[in-house]
């Protein structure tokens, strides 16, 4: 019985190297890598050895026979990826092992490589993959800064609390926090407690992994009304973010409109519509759970600007939502283009994912809370006096007492560093910040707010490779050490 990868996959590719028969694809060398929602196991060649499951940091690979309930579709999803292809050939001369080629030790440092003192700013996935790479592959001493009193970034305060397996990647990062070459400086914000110039003067290199912490705005009238929140507030609220109050999300309304159709919009809809008893025991903040128990919300409507063929959610996340028995999912078919696009979609096309999902014209609202997918509904205005009472979308006014925009994130400038306003990123070449020798970037502030946790692993490898090259050529690492900054921060 083969294994299959589930939607928890964060595409870090740890399993690819573990598989002895090359049956997990796309591999980092293949063109599809980075464009698919997840990786897939080819059931035709999997030998059921379980090595992938051991390697996976988020328990996303499971034996097919254990995949039931929301995960029951995944064997077919894995197999579908390989439809029409030949199984990847095992290496010549060995039926069971890759042809790894000649052994290459990319990260062997020359004997005269300087012992670097590196600051990493930000402890989300990008910062932690960077810390891991530096500690495992160099002799650097690392100081990890974060503005919050706890590490984790979006793994802790973004990933939905009912995605326990995904959050578990935080445990594998946490191993490095006790490393003898790592010092932690939590509650220290660059730009507030220390400036970029000061950090640069005190470390041989500084790597910024500060993410993209702000929500993009709608740019429509009524945006300032109470009852309109960015996804960052709602997501932070249910994850217990220390800067977001337990009463930050008003749930005294029957309908919530969530603007956007990405996985974050799906997370928000699922948490707000779930049976609270199913969330008890998850990582949800106790204050949020208490309020969800008293919530008046009956319906969460996801508003997509375009049709179902352009919906931004991934297949795995949608499938998991559709299989929930504590909530109902319906497609709003008031616009005839929606039903037409779904019915006309060929198998494998994005709109085809909604074939078989009940349509709003066919099913009256029942006793369960429901999530409604409404397409061709571009936002035109938020309506209300002081607090939002309705959203105008696609020419229709839809009553809603809470509107959450989940249309993507944006970076923000860090004083003392360059910033590209158009992309919301720090301009760089292979992780080296333009015009700032010894300063580097990684993660969402480097490449923009897209891609899952695992994507940051390769990104960190690129940035650390640039830093090592700069160390080899003497661009960094020749400065006298002074302890003033750390003494000052420690005494704050």
Q: Which residues bind ligand SF4 (CB under 6 A)?
A: 2-3, 5, 9-15, 18-19, 21, 23-24, 39, 41, 46-52, 55-56, 58, 60-61, 454
Q: Is 159 in the site for ligand FAD (CB under 6 A)?
A: yes
Which one, 118 or 398, has the nearer CB to ligand FAD? 118
CB-CB contact of 442 with 456 (8 Å): yes
Select from 108-116, 148-156, 297-305, 470-478 the region that touches ligand FAD (CB under 6 A). 148-156
Closest chain position to ligand FAD (CB)? 124
The footprint of ligand FAD on residues 252-311 (CB under 6 A) is 264
CB atoms within 10 A of CB 487: 9
With CB cut-offs between 5 and 8 Å by kind, which of ligand FAD, ligand SF4, none does residue 218 bind? none
142 near ligand FAD (CB under 6 A): no
Q: Least distance from C-beta 439 to ligand FAD, angstroms? A: 14
Closest CA to 54 of 92, 101, 14: 14
Q: What is the largest CA-CA distance in the chain?
A: 74
The least distance separating ligand FAD from the CB of residue 469, rounded to whole angstroms, comes to: 22
Residue 182 CB, nearest distance to ligand FAD (Å)?
15
Residues in a beta bridge with 328:
370
Which residue do the tokens 């609270």 mark? Answer: 276
Q: How far is the CB of 60 from ligand FAD (least distance, A)?
A: 10
| Binding span for ligand FAD by CB under 6 A among 98-106, 209-217, 361-369, 419-427 | 209-217
What minimum distance in Å lies between the beta carbon of 343 and ligand FAD? 31
E strand spans, 289-419: 299-303, 327-332, 369-374, 379-384, 388-393, 396-399, 402-405, 409-410
Closest distance of CB 366 from ligand FAD, Å:
29
Ramachandran category for residue 266: left, alpha or beta (phi over 0 → left; psi -120 to 50 → alpha)? alpha
Location of structure tokens 């984790």: 152
Orientation angle between helical segments 125-137 and 455-472, nearest 10 degrees: 40
Strand runs labelled E in 228-378: 228-230, 255-259, 299-303, 327-332, 369-374
Q: Which stretch binds ligand FAD (CB under 6 A): 90-98, 365-373, 450-458, 476-484?
A: 450-458
CB of 416 to ligand FAD, least distance (A): 11
Should residue 236 be labelled a site residue for ligand FAD when binding is judged by CB under 6 A?
no
According to the binding rule CB under 6 A, does residue 71 interact with ligand FAD?
no
Contact 492, 193 (CB under 8 A): yes
Tokens of 251: 């749930």
Binding mask 3-22 for ligand FAD (x = CB under 6 A): -------x------------
Per DSSP, what are the bridge partners of residue 405? 230, 259
Closest alpha carbon to 403 in 287, 245, 297, 244: 297
Q: Quick one: which of 90, 187, 191, 413 contacts ligand FAD (CB under 6 A)?
A: 191
Angle between the N-to-C axes of helices 315-322 and 263-273, in degrees from 0 to 180, rounded to the nearest 10:
20
Residue 3's contacts (CB-CB under 8 Å, 6 or more residues apart) are 41, 46, 48, 50, 52, 53, 61, 62, 63, 64
Pick from ligand SF4, ligand FAD, none: which does 123 bind, CB < 5 to 8 A by kind? ligand FAD
CA–CA separation, 253 and 447 (whole Å): 38
Which is nearer to ligand SF4, 34 or 276 (by Cβ)?
34
Select from ligand FAD, ligand SF4, none the partner in contact with residue 311, using the beta carbon and a kind-dependent cut-off of 5 to 8 Å. none
Report, in Å, the least distance between residue 209 CB and ligand FAD.
5
**Binding of ligand FAD at residue 163 (CB under 6 A)?**
yes
With binding defined as CB under 6 A, does residue 210 bind ligand FAD? yes
Of the candidates 340, 334, 277, 324, the one whose C-alpha atom is nearest the C-alpha of residue 301 is 334
Binding positions for ligand FAD, rule: CB under 6 A: 10, 121-127, 145-148, 153-154, 158-159, 163, 166, 189-191, 209-211, 213, 235, 264, 409, 414, 443-444, 451-453, 456
């Amino acid at each position: 019985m083969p294994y299959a990868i589930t939607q928890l996959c964060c595409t870090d590719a740890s399993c690819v190297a573990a598989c002895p028969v090359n049956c997990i694809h796309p591999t980092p060398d293949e063109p599809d890598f980075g464009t698919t929602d997840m990786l897939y196991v080819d059931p035709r060649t999997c030998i059921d050895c379980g090595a992938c499951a051991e390697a996976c940091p988020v328990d996303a690979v499971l034996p097919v026979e254990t995949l039931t309930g929301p995960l029951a579709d995944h064997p077919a999803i894995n197999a579908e990826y390989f439809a029409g292809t030949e199984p990847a050939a095992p290496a010549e001369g060995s039926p069971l092992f890759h042809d790894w080629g000649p052994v290459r030790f990319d990260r062997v440092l020359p004997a005269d490589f300087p012992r670097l003192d590196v600051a990493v700013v930000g402890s989300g996935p990008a910062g932690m993959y960077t810390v891991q790479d530096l500690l495992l592959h160099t002799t650097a001493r690392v100081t990890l800064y974060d503005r919050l009193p706890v590490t984790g970034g979006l793994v802790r305060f973004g990933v939905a609390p009912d995605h326990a397996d995904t959050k578990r990647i935080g445990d594998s990062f946490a191993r490095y926090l006790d490393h003898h070459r790592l010092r932690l400086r939590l509650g220290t914000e660059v730009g507030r407690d220390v400036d970029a110039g000061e950090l640069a003067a005190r470390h041989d290199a500084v790597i910024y992994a500060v993410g993209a912490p702000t929500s993009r705005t709608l740019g429509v009238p009524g945006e300032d009304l109470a009852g309109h929140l960015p996804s960052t507030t709602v997501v932070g609220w249910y994850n217990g973010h220390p800067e977001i109050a337990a009463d930050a999300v008003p749930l005294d309304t029957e309908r919530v409109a969530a603007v956007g159709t990405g996985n974050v919009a799906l997370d928000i809809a699922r948490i707000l519509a779930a049976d609270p008893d199913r969330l008890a025991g998850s990582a949800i903040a106790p204050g949020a759970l208490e309020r969800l128990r008293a919530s008046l919300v009956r319906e969460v409507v996801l508003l997509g600007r375009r049709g179902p063929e352009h919906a931004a959610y991934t297949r795995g996340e949608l499938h998991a939502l559709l299989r929930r028995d504590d909530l109902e999912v319906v497609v709003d078919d008031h616009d005839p283009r929606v039903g037409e696009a779904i019915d006309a979609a060929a198998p494998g096309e994005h709109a085809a994912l909604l074939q078989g999902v009940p349509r709003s014209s066919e099913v009256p609202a029942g006793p369960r809370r429901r999530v409604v997918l409404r397409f061709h509904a571009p936002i035109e205005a938020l309506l209300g006096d002081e607090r939002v009472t309705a959203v105008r979308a696609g020419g229709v006014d839809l009553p809603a007492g809470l509107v959450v925009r989940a249309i993507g994130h944006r970076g923000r400038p860090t004083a003392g560093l360059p910033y590209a306003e158009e992309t919301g990123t720090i301009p760089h070449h292979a992780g080296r910040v333009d015009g700032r020798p010894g300063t580097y970037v990684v993660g969402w502030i480097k490449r923009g707010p897209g891609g899952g946790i695992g994507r940051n692993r390769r990104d960190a490898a690129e940035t650390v490779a640039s830093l090592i090259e700069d160390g080899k050529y003497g661009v960094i690492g020749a400065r006298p050490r002074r302890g003033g900054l750390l003494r000052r921060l420690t005494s704050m």
